[in-house]
Each structure stands twice: as C-alpha cells, then as structure tokens.
C-alpha cells in the first residue's frame, strides 16, 4: 500500500510530496512534474534527481539520455533485482556552470524523502 503524502496549491497543482523513495520514484504525478527538488526530511541539502542506483552512471553519462530506463534495461539485457530491493541515488548539479551532474548520496528504497514541485507559471 502506497503511503505518500501530497499537498496541492489553490489551483489544484501538486506542490509537495513526502514518502519512501521507492514509492515516490514510481508515482506518476511526481514523474510527470517538469521541475522537482528532492531532499531528506530535516536536512538542508537539496538534490535535482532521484534515480535507480544501478542505472545512474549510464544516465548521467548520457546528457541528454538517449534511452529511457526501460529501454536501457531491455537493450543491455540487465538482470535486475526485484524492485523492492532496488537502491536509489540522489543526483546534484555541480561545477562552475551548474551543468555537471554527480551522485550525491545513495539511499535505500525505504528512505523517506520530500519533493518540492517547482512551477514556473
């Protein structure tokens, strides 16, 4: 059973989410948001992406990615652990222009995270 908390603004747009990393990663509303800011509750650090650990380096090296995660799995013949065992990584931008990506922290799928949904309109 999914245990995600969500908050919406007065226009009905998603603005904040809290839940386990695995559940947040699979939530379609979060995945469809164009701009997200991830953080671990009660910590000041902010991250730009949440990715499965076993695919993160391939995705970071392809900028922009040439394949979706599902295509990468199919094309590389990856034998994945069951989804409930996946580890995740939080990705941060760095470098003088802020365009370089790095793995900032590895977390379990059970780790609670928060996501701010950023709206530009």
Q: Where do the domains of the chain lie?
A: 5-117
Contact call for residues 54 and 80 (beta carbons, < 8 A): yes
Q: Is the pTM here over 0.85, yes or no? A: no
pLDDT (tens digit per residue) in 24-74: 999 999 999 988 999 999 999 999 999 988 877 766 665 555 666 566 666
pLDDT (tens digit per residue) in 65-117: 566 656 666 666 666 678 788 899 999 988 777 778 888 999 999 999 999 99
What pLDDT, on a 0 to 100 scale, did the predictor assign at position 59?
64
φ and ψ at residue 8, rounded to 5 degrees: -115, 150
**CA neighbor of 89 nearest in space, from 121, 118, 48:** 48
φ and ψ at residue 106, rounded to 5 degrees: -95, 135
């Amino acid at each position: 059973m999914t245990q995600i908390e969500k908050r919406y603004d007065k226009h009905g747009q998603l603005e904040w989410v809290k839940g386990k990393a695995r559940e947040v990663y699979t939530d379609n509303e979060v995945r469809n948001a164009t701009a997200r800011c991830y953080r671990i509750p009660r910590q000041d650090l902010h991250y730009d992406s949440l990715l499965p650990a076993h695919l993160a380096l391939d995705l970071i090296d392809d900028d922009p990615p040439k394949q979706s995660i599902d295509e990468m799995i199919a094309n590389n013949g990856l034998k994945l652990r069951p989804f409930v065992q996946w580890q995740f990584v939080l990705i941060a931008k760095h470098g003088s222009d802020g365009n370089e990506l790095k793995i900032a922290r590895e977390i379990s799928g059970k780790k609670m995270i928060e996501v701010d949904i950023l709206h530009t309109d």
